[in-house]
Amino acid sequence: MLFKALKATYFKQLYDEKDMLLGKLELLSNTNMVDFAMDVHKNLYPDQRDPVSLREKRQEVVTKLKSLQAETDDIIKIFEEPEVQRQIQSSRDGRQLFDFLYKEYHFKQEMVDTLYNYAKFQYECGNYSGTAEYLYFVRVLLPPSDKNFMNACWGKLASEILMQSWEVALEDLNRVKDLIDNSGVNALEALQQRTWLIHWSLFVFFNHPKGRDLIIDLFLYQPNYLNAIQTMCPHILRYLTTAVITNKGRRQKVLKDLVKVIQQESYTYKDPITEFVMCLYVNFDFDGAQQKLRECETVLMNDFFLVACLEDFIENARLLIFETFCRIHECISINMLAEKLNMTPDEAERWIVNLIRNARLDAKIDSKLGHVVMGTQAVSPYQQVIEKTKNLSFRSQMLALNIEKRAGLHSKTDVESVGCTGLEAHHKSRGDKTGHFFLRTTIVL
């Protein structure tokens, strides 16, 4: 999927090629990828020699690389020992492994720092496989309180993303998430870290087979991360909305929650994808939804992460328009439906036939009149009872507390204590953690 996105971006030629090469050269100037920078310079200026600054920098990089390699050779040899490899696999924690290395190989704390610096230099040179390997050892040996531990975890995640190792990258993503959630840093720093993780996670979620489920779980149902999106990066709603619309298995269950969030943030962020949902599920404006669907196609074609979802999104968006339209009509003209779906009448009829054939639609087609006749879809009494009794326990508890308070059966202190307990139970049932429910309000104030 990542290759498809890169290929689509390259062949569309949205930007001037020379401007792209200049931007790439500027970006490479802050790294140690000197050979790559020289290749870009040759493409830009084929008649010129490599700049003296690049040649001098290359010599500096090679010299430093040899120096770091000499410092880490003995460390690497230790980790290549079969006994050390077995110990790494069997050790319960980093402290146990460090004690073993100290006892058997006279391993010192300074060696971990040396390995970290070597891994960082390798990353700046573009050797991501070596970086991931070295940072793995650094992460195992360092205690979480060490100043380089969090950086090592971020570096390992970045290396796996750049190597497109999506399974390992997902593991590292979850590890970084746990570190942020349990680090005990102040609210502002935690918000910044979560914002970074949200953006980095897009590479993983839009390439991993289970990514569309994972993005919903993290962005929509993790209160801390939803607050971070609402506070710092509401543009991420575009990717959450796309994940929901293209997720056939969970779409109906989560659409209502997604619509609420989009409504709340509509004053700070809008794009054709979120506006499509607003038109369809808030305003019931089918003409507006049709127009936004056309705009969505342009947006997805030019979005690095979403270009691979284009066909899937259009197909599912049309189905949502059709399903919503069918809820309020019993008999629908195929010509009118084709107009709503941006299709020709013949294409619309074939599309509906396929839906009926795949048992996804209770309807019949009257070809003579050019109509689609919908079947009745009565809601079962069991489902009606479930809908009516949602949150009934909590509401009953709060009502009882209010009655007791007015009747004076409890002191003020007791009532407030019980009330707080009820609220905490309510937030826990929603998955909220203590203090996180008010994070966004605190930051905004």
| 230 neighbors 264 (Cβ within 8 angstroms) | yes
Give the 3-state secondary structure of residue 373: strand
Residue 107, both tokens: 């391993």
Structural domain contains residue 80: no
Token pair 């009494």: residue:
381
DSSP 8-state assignment for residue 210: T
Structural domain contains residue 274: no
Structural domain contains residue 363: yes
pLDDT of residue 333: 76
pLDDT of residue 19: 87
pLDDT of residue 166: 95
Domains contained in the chain, number: 1
Domain of 366 in residue numbering reads as 333-374
Give the 3-state secondary structure of residue 363: strand
Structural domain contains residue 287: no
State the Cα torsion 289-279-213-261 to the nearest 10°: 160
pLDDT of residue 92: 66
Rounded Cα distance between 169 and 133, Å, is: 13
pLDDT of residue 329: 63
Q: What is the DSSP string of 292-328?
A: HHHHHHHHHHT-TTTGGGHHHHHHHHHHHHHHHHHHT
Structural domain contains residue 361: yes
Structural domain contains residue 403: no
Structural domain contains residue 370: yes
Digitized pLDDT (tens) for each residue of the chain, 445 residues in all? 544 444 444 456 677 888 888 888 898 988 999 999 999 999 988 888 888 999 999 999 999 999 999 999 888 888 888 888 888 777 667 777 878 887 887 888 888 899 999 999 999 999 999 999 999 989 888 888 888 999 999 999 999 999 999 999 999 999 999 999 988 788 899 999 999 999 999 999 999 999 999 999 999 999 999 999 999 999 999 999 999 999 988 888 899 999 999 999 999 999 999 999 999 999 888 889 989 999 999 999 999 999 999 999 998 998 888 778 776 766 677 777 777 777 787 887 777 777 766 645 566 676 666 766 665 555 556 666 766 666 666 677 777 777 876 776 544 444 444 444 443 444 444 444 434 333 333 333 2
DSSP 8-state assignment for residue 15: S
Give the 3-state secondary structure of residue 378: coil
Structural domain contains residue 340: yes
Residue 230, both tokens: 């609402």
Give the 3-state secondary structure of residue 60: helix
